[in-house]
Structure 1
Amino acid sequence: MVSQRDREILRDEIHSRGAKLSATDRETLLKPYLPDPSDLSSSKRSPTSQRRPKTRKTPIRTFLKSQLHHLTYALTHIIFGVIVRLLQAYHAVVERVFAIVYHHHRTPELIRKDVRGLKRVPQHLSIILNLRTEDDALTVLMDEVAELAAWSACAGIPQLSVYEKTGVLKSCIPALHQIITTKLASYYGSPSQQPSLQLFAPHHPVHGTAPDPQFDSPSLTLLLLSSTDGRETLVDLTKTLTEMSQNGKLSPADITPELVDAEVSEITSQPLQSDSGSGYCTIGPEPDLLLVFGPFLKLDGYPPWQLRLTEMYCTGDRSHALTGYGEAVEYQGFMRGLWHYAGAQMRFGR
């Protein structure tokens, strides 16, 4: 920097000359204070040399490293693929062995023998089925429902509910009742030995005859559910509460979540029976066991308040990718669900 003394000398020089300094004079005066040009060039070169260090190119090493990564990735996938396939093959063999050993042969005595050693059997069994895309999908679905009804009746399960999302089974209740009756005849023989069958569906007439209380004969109650049942139940409850509020029977301030929960619980806790004089049924109590015949556990719109304390089991979660039986309704899957329920611990929130 220019000192105060040099400034005064420079000012006096300017006043003494009475004119402006030329470029040469200014350069002569400021030259002692300017940095050395050699220092500037070295300072400019040094950062550049630091930012661009000289590196050796190793294309062969880079290529070998990338190939090693690809080889490791491929070996990892091959090892895990082999392990998964071996596990699927093992479960497929176990499934086939169970299918042979625990085959019912349409004999109620064999089914009762299979469930005799279980600690408990569900009193209300619920099944989730899916409608396939084949041309005969409805026929296959109705035959599966008939098989499940026969197995449940032979195992001593009095209540069975079948959930199918689209509700296509509700449109053919008489035909389904006839198919189930024919299936029960193939298991039990004469009509006198068959269990009594009642086929229910919300907002649909009841098909079948009630069991005679004078005789201790087996009976089966079958309920058909779909995705609309959950919404329609809430809609009916909303209409009822609205009408009671408009008629002055209920204050709007009294409509609380606790009241709605109590009403829904009252609806779902009623036994399966037709309303007095109407011939229609209400949704019954929540099931003890829910079986899902599919590759994974998917409720698919099942009424949620029906599953608060329900034990769930998925039958096709292990060997379906190899055998193709993930969604098939088979007896060994039915039995595995009952075994799972018998060994489950019912804590009920404790």
Structure 2
Amino acid sequence: MVTTDSIRRSSARIAQMPSFALSVLWFLIHLVISIFFIVLGIADAVENYLISSGFLKRYDAINVGKLRYLAIVVDSEDAMQINKALKLLQWLTDIGVKHVCLYDSEGVLKKSKEIILERLSCAKLYEEGDEKSVLDSKTMIIEFTSQSDGKEALVRAANLLLKRLRSLGENQEEKIFTEAQMTEALKAVGSGGPEPDLLLVYGPARCHLGFPAWRLRYTEIVHMGPLDSMKYGSLLKSIYNFTLVRQNYGK
């Protein structure tokens, strides 16, 4: 009887060994990954400090002229921090960015545009056609937009295309609209807008959060993390890296 109980206990211990080994392995993997991200965070913080302090000289001379239009996408909860948004815009002014599009899905920044423009004396509101003189402007031009603007634009453009479709009569071949015609329709209803060269996303999500997709055909997208923890060095690095990218648009 004693022998049988010993065998059962030994069998139970052996059965538990794979589970224990997996737990140890999982703990070690988790520990290694945690240490990796801690080291990565420290390295990033040191790099941001060096960039902000001017120790890394390669960031002193950025070809900002290559960045014609910059889009900033902010999570709607982060967008309520107007002071943070103002600080970000002031950084962009110091860097020399001429045209900025501010976007959040619920239009929080758009509702506060009077406050932003009042407190940022070196900026003016974007108007249709301003993109032709942006590079020669001494002030920053700011465009405010939200998800509702994109939806309304699609509805107006669709109605315009529908009217054109009805005017074509029975000509089936011409009832297929091209991308160029859709772009023309969006511009006709006043919602074309310039296509950003670079889009910076501030928020937890790694996506454009509903920014008009028809304006992102050739846009570089970079996730910057929460607006609350934004860093000047990180902003400068993202713009610098963009200026080094060679974009091929095809023929």
Give the TM-score, by structure 1 length: 0.56
Which residue of structure 2 aligns with residue 92 of structure 1?
Answer: 45
Give the distance between the partners of 1:160 and 1:263, measured in 2 at CA. Answer: 26
Which residue of structure 2 aligns with residue 72 of structure 1?
Answer: 25
C-alpha displacement of 1:262:
1.9
AA partner of residue 35 (structure 2): V
C-alpha displacement of 1:161:
0.6
Of the three residues 104, 109, 124, the one matched with 1:169 is: 109
Map 1:112-191; keep pairs closer than 5 Å. Answer: 114=59, 116-118=61-63, 121-132=66-77, 138=80, 140-141=81-82, 143-181=83-121, 184=122
Residues 326 and 175 of structure 1, relative CA distance in 2, 3 Å threshold: closer
Gaps of 5+ in 2: 1-6
Partner of 1:314, secondary structure, is strand
The question of whether the paired residues in 1 share the 8 Å contact of 2:47 and 2:233 is answered with no
Which residue of structure 1 aligns with residue 147 of structure 2?
Answer: 227
C-alpha displacement of 1:120:
5.2
Which residue of structure 2 aligns with residue 343 of structure 1?
Answer: 244
Q: 1:42-91 CA distances to partner (integer Å, 9 max, x unpaired)? A: xxxxxxxxxxxxxx754243344543443333333333333332322332
Give the distance between the partners of 2:110 and 2:227, measured in 1 at CA. Answer: 25
Partner of 1:257, secondary structure, is coil
Give the distance between the partners of 1:229 and 1:201, measured in 2 at CA. Answer: 15
Partner of 1:242, secondary structure, is helix
Partner of 1:162, secondary structure, is strand
Residues 62 and 308 of structure 1, relative CA distance in 2, 3 Å threshold: same
Partner of 1:132, secondary structure, is helix
Map 1:53-68; keep pairs closer than 5 Å. Answer: 58-59=10-11, 60-68=13-21
Give the distance between the partners of 1:255 and 1:121, measured in 2 at CA. Answer: 39
Residues 158 and 250 of structure 1, relative CA distance in 2, 3 Å threshold: farther
Give the distance between the partners of 1:236 and 1:65, measured in 2 at CA. Answer: 63
Cα RMSD of the aligned pairs, angstroms, is 3.5
Give the distance between the partners of 1:150 and 1:268, measured in 2 at CA. Answer: 31
Structure 1 consecutive aligned stretches of length 4 or more whose deviation exceeds 6 Å: none
C-alpha displacement of 1:300:
0.7
C-alpha displacement of 1:256:
1.8
Gaps of 5+ in 1: 1-55, 103-112, 185-196, 203-209, 276-280, 317-324
C-alpha displacement of 1:346:
0.7
Q: 1:260-296 CA distances to partner (integer Å, 9 max, x unpaired)? A: x2233236679xxxx9xxxxx6442101111112355
Partner of 1:315, secondary structure, is strand
Give the TM-score, by structure 2 length: 0.75
Residues 94 and 297 of structure 1, relative CA distance in 2, 3 Å threshold: same
AA partner of residue 86 (structure 1): V
AA partner of residue 228 (structure 1): S
Which residue of structure 1 aligns with residue 3 of structure 2?
Answer: none
Partner of 2:208, secondary structure, is coil
Give the distance between the partners of 2:34 and 2:73, measured in 1 at CA. Answer: 31
Q: Which has the higher contact order (CA 8 A, sep 6+)?
A: 2
Residues 327 and 67 of structure 1, relative CA distance in 2, 3 Å threshold: same
AA partner of residue 264 (structure 1): M
Give the distance between the partners of 2:93 and 2:31, measured in 1 at CA. Answer: 47
Residues 250 and 180 of structure 1, relative CA distance in 2, 3 Å threshold: farther
Partner of 1:312, secondary structure, is strand
The question of whether the paired residues in 2 share the 8 Å contact of 1:125 and 1:287 is answered with yes
Equivalent pairs, count: 235
Q: 1:238-261 CA distances to partner (integer Å, 9 max, x unpaired)? A: 222334455xx4437433231xx2
Which residue of structure 1 aligns with residue 182 of structure 2?
Answer: 264
Residues 263 and 119 of structure 1, relative CA distance in 2, 3 Å threshold: same
Quote the sequence identity (%).
22
Which residue of structure 2 aligns with residue 334 of structure 1?
Answer: 235
Of the three residues 193, 212, 230, the one matched with 1:303 is: 212
AA partner of residue 199 (structure 1): L
C-alpha displacement of 1:314:
1.8
Partner of 1:287, secondary structure, is coil
Residues 328 and 78 of structure 1, relative CA distance in 2, 3 Å threshold: closer
